[in-house]
Amino acid sequence: MSQNPEEIKEKEIEEKIVVETTPANKVSEVVIGDEVLKVNTVIDAPSPSPSPSPSFVKDFKFGKKSDKNFKSRSRSARPVREKPEFDSKTVDVRRVTRVVAGGRRFSLSVAAALGDKNGRVGFGLGKALDTQAAIEKSHRAAKKNMLTLKLTKNKSIPYDVTVKYKSARLWMTPNKGKGLIAGSSARTILALAGVNNVTAKFRSGTKNKINNAKAAMKALSLFTK
């Protein structure tokens, strides 16, 4: 006997999951009245990642790189830096001010010494708005004022001297095997000149580094070639 449409509407629709085989495949039974329908639902599952080859694992374990899995990288060689002709050292850096009509103008003054530690030494001053520009100017000035010394066999001076430059007074004498004994700017100048076995002492109360350095240069100028 055929059922009336009204009776079919009154019946409830029930859905039961009967079988669940895998996460990627679900089979369910849907009951609609006296009819039973089977629905197969397919769910996309993530594909498993491929396992590495045994040879790759072996090479990676022992710190080797397989030619099949890695490409050889060619690294460009670093350019070789040329050694500068002179060693340099900054003696003093000062911030100076100039008063103009519009206000004050600040700049930097740098005192630097150059030397090859083999009998040549120079000292110069440079002033600019930028530190690097001031250092370059001081290096150019030091090269212009370069001295070539005439030293003894053990790189010492032949006799003792006493010089005076403005407020700085310097006494310099050779010593036998005691090395370089000096302080302040005199040590910087003598070390860059390559002078050894010399004792230098300032006999003045000034601590002006520029005057002390120029006093050391004046003392060394007595031993030029």
68-80: per-residue pLDDT in tens? 554 555 566 677 7
| 149-155 average pLDDT score | 92
Domain 87-146 sits in CATH at: 3.30.160.20
| 111-122 average pLDDT score | 95
Residue ranges per structural domain of the chain: 11-42, 87-146, 148-223
| 112-123 average pLDDT score | 95
Tokens of residue 128, six digits: 């600019």
Top-level class of domain 148-223? alpha beta
pLDDT on residue 77: 67
Rounded Cα distance, 123 and 113, in Å: 4
| 177-201 average pLDDT score | 94
């004046």: which residue's tokens? 218
pLDDT on residue 134: 96
